[in-house]
Amino acid sequence: MQHKAFKVGLTTLVLAVALGGLLYSSLREGTHFYKHVDEVMAEPEAWYGKRLQIHGFVAEDSWMQKPNSLEYRFRMTNNGKVVDASYSGILPDTFKEGSEVVVKGRLSPDGFTVDPNGVMAKCPSKYQPKSGAPIERAASSSTSE
Tens-digit pLDDT profile for residues 38-93: 998 998 888 898 889 999 999 888 888 888 888 999 999 999 999 999 999 888 88
CA quadruple 45, 49, 51, 57: dihedral sign: positive
Structural fold of domain 30-123: OB fold (Dihydrolipoamide Acetyltransferase, E2P) (2.40.50)
How far is the first Cα of the chain from the last one, in angstroms, to the nearest whole number? 73
The dihedrals phi and psi of 47, each to the nearest 5 degrees, come to -105, -5
Kindly give, in sequence order, each residue whose CB lies less than 8 Å from that of residue 74, ignoring residues fewer than 6 positions away: 58, 59, 62, 63, 64, 84, 85, 87
Query: Has residue 103 got a pLDDT over 70?
Result: yes
What does the domain layout of the chain look like in residue ranges? 30-123
